[in-house]
Amino acid sequence: MENFTFYAPTYFVFGKDTETEAGTYVKRFGGTKVLLHYGGGSVIRTGLLQRVRDSLAAAGIDSVELGGVRPNPRSGLVYEGIALCKEEGIDFILAVGGGSVIDSAKAIAAGGAYDGDFWDFYTGKVVEKALPVGTVLTISAAGSEGSPDSVITKEEGMFKRGATGEALRPWFSILNPALTQTLPAYQTACGVTDILAHLYERYLTNTKDVEVTDRMIEALMLAMIQAGPKAVRDSTDYESRANIMWAGMMAHNNSCGVGRTQDWTSHDIEHELSALYDCAHGAGLAVTMPAVFTYNMQHDVMRFAQIAVRVWGCEMNFAHPEETAKAGIEALRSFLISIGMPKNLLELGGAEADIEKMAHSACCGNGRDGSIGGFVKLTQKDVENIYRLMV
By CB under 8 A, name the binding residues for its own copies: 1-16, 18, 177, 208-216, 218-220, 222-223, 226-227, 239-240, 242-244, 246-247, 250, 255, 258-259
SS3 153: strand
Q: Which is nearer to its own copies, 249 or 378 (CB)?
A: 249
Shortest Å, Cβ 27 to its own copies:
16
Shortest Å, Cβ 146 to its own copies:
10
Q: Which is nearer to its own copies, 216 or 372 (CB)?
A: 216
Q: How far apart are the first and last CA of the chain?
A: 38
Q: Which is nearer to its own copies, 4 or 338 (CB)?
A: 4
Q: What is the C-alpha R_g of the chain?
A: 20
Shortest Å, Cβ 3 to its own copies:
3
Q: Which is nearer to its own copies, 194 or 268 (CB)?
A: 194
Shortest Å, Cβ 251 to its own copies:
10
Q: Which is nearer to its own copies, 13 or 301 (CB)?
A: 13
Distance separating alpha carbons of residues 335 and 34, to the nearest angstrom? 42
State phi, psi for 99 to the nearest 5 degrees. -60, -35
The 8-class DSSP code of residue 215 comes to H
SS3 94: strand
Distance separating alpha carbons of residues 117 and 114, to the nearest angstrom? 8
Q: Which is nearer to its own copies, 16 or 377 (CB)?
A: 16
Distance separating alpha carbons of residues 165 and 82, to the nearest angstrom? 18
Q: Which is nearer to its own copies, 2 or 278 (CB)?
A: 2
Distance separating alpha carbons of residues 351 and 340, to the nearest angstrom? 20
Q: Which is nearer to its own copies, 55 or 265 (CB)?
A: 55
Shortest Å, Cβ 173 to its own copies:
10
Distance separating alpha carbons of residues 285 and 269, to the nearest angstrom? 9
AA identity, residue 356:
E
The 8-class DSSP code of residue 219 comes to H
Shortest Å, Cβ 301 to its own copies:
21
Shortest Å, Cβ 117 to its own copies:
29
Number of Cβ within a 10 Å radius of residue 349: 14
SS3 46: coil
Q: Which is nearer to its own copies, 231 or 291 (CB)?
A: 231
The 8-class DSSP code of residue 19 comes to G
Element (H, E) at 11: strand 11-14
Shortest Å, Cβ 119 to its own copies:
29
- For 148: left if phi > 0, alpha if psi spans -120 to 50, otherwise beta; the answer is alpha
Shortest Å, Cβ 245 to its own copies:
9
Q: Which one, of 164, 7, 191, lies nearest residue 97 by Cα? A: 191
Distance separating alpha carbons of residues 99 and 113, to the nearest angstrom? 21
